[in-house]
Structure 1
Amino acid sequence: MIPDRNFYDLGANMSLFNYLGDKLSEAVDFVADNPIKSAVAAGVAIGGPAAWAVAPAIGAMASAAGLGVAAGSLSGAAASSAGLAALGGGSLAAGGLGMAGGTAVVTAAGAAGAGALGGGAVKLISTPSTRSKQVAGKAVAAKPIKVVATKTTKVNRPGFRGGCLV
């Protein structure tokens, strides 16, 4: 039996929307207060799955580069499997972690690299333009960068008006 409620009546569910709104507001405040941590987390969240998706290709490249027993003599899925097993410390039969270990290594390296790249980029962007430098062991403030505005003139080409041919 269908309840006798209007689909658009939020009533009791309004507290859920208020709760979600508060949590979203807290998340936005956290990102605004901690840009570097947020960029690292975003880099890990994006870089990890991306590295996992390309792990077979990286395994094939590792095999083609001579990593593992086959050392470049394999191609296709066999090269991918052999390369990932080599990155994982060897096959399961040889006591290594096999392809799963190789995939984990590639995924961890991709997530760590993307996280470091994201955090480093935000730190670089957020660094003020007036940096202090060390001169004979003493911190000396550098001069602020001056931006000089120049006047530009519009070039009119015959036959063109506003980027369109007339």
Structure 2
Amino acid sequence: FHPLNAYDDGEQIVLEVPRYERVFDAVRNGPTESSPTFDRWVIDLEAGKVRTSRIDDRKHEFPRLDERLVGRRHRYGYTVADRDSGWFDTVVKHDFAQATASDRSFGDGKEVGEFVFVPRAADAAEDDGVLMGFVYDKAEDRSDLILLDAGTLDTVAAIHLPNRVPTGLHGNWVPARLRARPRPRCT
């Protein structure tokens, strides 16, 4: 539904994706028919075969990585996961080189949306930056904009908002140097 990344390693294509057993089959307005696991597909073009391996059995979605590495081999990826609460309440950092994952749970009654990676600088290391996303507090019916250190998943900042930001809302970070400059108006 939402791929993390795909890249060509020279001999095969590697994709990392939340994988649903069934999606939009009977329920047309959302992927609610099965829980998504986090899987890797390796497509061997020469042999004409696909290998599937499980990265994580938990329910995962909204995968992100350092956007500077889209379409290229990467070490880290970030997802949101469910600790059996019925909704996404945890941010997960996947280290594909070490085949490990570290978690940051926000606890009961909290629902996390997509967390976007923002590099500290244009030449920063792959996990040198922050993860930025919204966390909904069900008891207070409002959201916080949370910034996590991408290396440690510790909170860097929390901006308390007076209202709810719906989960499922996508976002991107575009550094100022890449934004289009306003065009002068013709009069």
**Shared fold per TM-score greater than 0.5:** no
Q: Which has the higher contact order (CA 8 A, sep 6+)?
A: 1
TM-score (normalised: structure 2): 0.18
Larger Rg: 1
Structure showing the higher helix proportion among its residues: 1
Structure showing the higher strand proportion among its residues: 2
